[in-house]
Amino acid sequence: MLKVSITGPESTGKSTLAERLARQYSTVWVPEFARTYVGNLGRPYTPEDLEAIAHGQLALEQEMQLQAKNIFFSDTDLLVIKIWSEHAFGHCPAWIQEKLKQQNYNLCLLMGVDLPWEPDPQREHPHLRTYFYEWYKSELQALEVPFVEISGQQEERLQLACRHVDALLQKH
């Protein structure tokens, strides 16, 4: 089973691309567990909530993997939770960092910040997207994870991502 993670700052088209790639390759995509979780909170999130989100994301990924055909796409990964936690609370639980090192995605698609910001009640930092993008890139390099940068408008992003996914499929 090949696994592709779509990662990066807020409002960069992760969910849209994950859904479109899954449709393109006739498989499933794992939605971002945090959207539902935070949407149902009714209060500000806490460090404990981020841990619950990490557990929920991992469980959802495991569940969806059973339905996948050869490849699946994850709308987020533990790197998102690590960066979110460190930015919001100044630290990330050790177990999340350890699980992050164990993630075995065949490819990560790092989403660029060249799409217009789309306001959403769960989004917090429209003015920090470049800052976060550089943080994601630095973390991916440090983790030595295979990743490519995805930029352009929606169709360009899909075409670029498909080229990299096709190359991945040809290798395996």
CATH of the domain at 87: 3.40.50.300
Exposed/middle/buried for 95, CB within 10 Å: 0-12, 13-18, 19+? exposed
- Is residue 31 predicted with pLDDT exceeding 80? yes
Question: At 131, is the pLDDT very low, low, confident or very high (cuts 50, 70, 90)?
Answer: very high
Residue 123 reports pLDDT greater than 90: no
From the list 137, 135, 145, the residue with the least C-alpha distance to 100 is 145
Residue 53's nearest CA partner among 82, 13, 22, 12 is 82
Residue type, 42: G
Residue 119 confidence (pLDDT): 78
Taking residues 102-126, report their average pLDDT: 90
- Say how many C-beta atoms besides its own lie within 10 A of residue 47's C-beta: 14
Is pLDDT above 90 for 122?
no
pLDDT at residue 26 tops 90: yes
Whether the per-residue pLDDT at 134 is higher than 90: the answer is: yes
The band of 133, judged by pLDDT with boundaries at 50, 70 and 90, is very high
Q: Would you state the pLDDT for residue 125?
A: 87
Number of domains forming the structure of the chain: 1
pLDDT of residue 120: 80
- How far apart are the two ends of the chain, measured CA to CA in Å? 10
Pick the closest to residue 5 from 130, 100, 129 (CA basis): 100
Q: Residue 66 belongs to what domain range?
A: 2-171
Residues 32-68 have pLDDT tens digits of: 999 999 999 999 999 999 999 999 999 999 999 999 9
- Taking a C-beta distance cutoff of 8 angstroms, is the pair 100, 79 a contact? yes
143-156 pLDDT tens trace: 999 999 999 999 99
The residues that bridge with 73 in the sheet, in sequence order, are 4, 29
Percent of the chain beyond pLDDT 90?
90
Report whether pLDDT(121) > 80. no
State the chain's maximal CA–CA distance in angstroms.
Answer: 46
Helices (H), the chain: 14-24, 33-39, 47-65, 78-89, 94-102, 129-143, 154-171
Residue 118, pLDDT above cutoff 90 = no
